[in-house]
Amino acid sequence: MSSDWRPGEWELVYDPKVPTNRSVDSPYIEGKSFITIIDGFLVSPNVDVMKIKGIDHEFKDSDHNSVIIKLKAR
């Protein structure tokens, strides 16, 4: 992915281990439904990312899984 769309030293962060989105053309079937990662955070250069974690809800109530982030001001 090209980084020229980001302003200055901003950083795109996400959890590469947990898919955050699924196809909605049919009910979710683990191992069969299309899944991908599209959810994350654009972080300004005045904060440090302490932790980012995808929460695998197995797409039970949504076509997205949650992502949490812990930040610290510089």
Q: Is residue 1 part of a domain?
A: no
Q: Is residue 15 part of a domain?
A: yes
pLDDT given at position 6:
74
Q: Is residue 44 part of a domain?
A: yes
* Global pTM exceeds 0.75: yes
Give the closest residue to 23 by CA, choosing from 40, 31, 35: 35
pLDDT given at position 12:
92
Spans of the chain below 70 pLDDT: 1-3
Q: Is residue 6 part of a domain?
A: no
Domain count, the chain: 1
Burial degree of 15 (CB within 10 A; 0-12, 13-18, 19+): buried
Q: Is residue 3 part of a domain?
A: no
Expressed as residue numbers, the domain containing 49 is: 11-73
Q: Is residue 5 part of a domain?
A: no
Q: Is residue 19 part of a domain?
A: yes
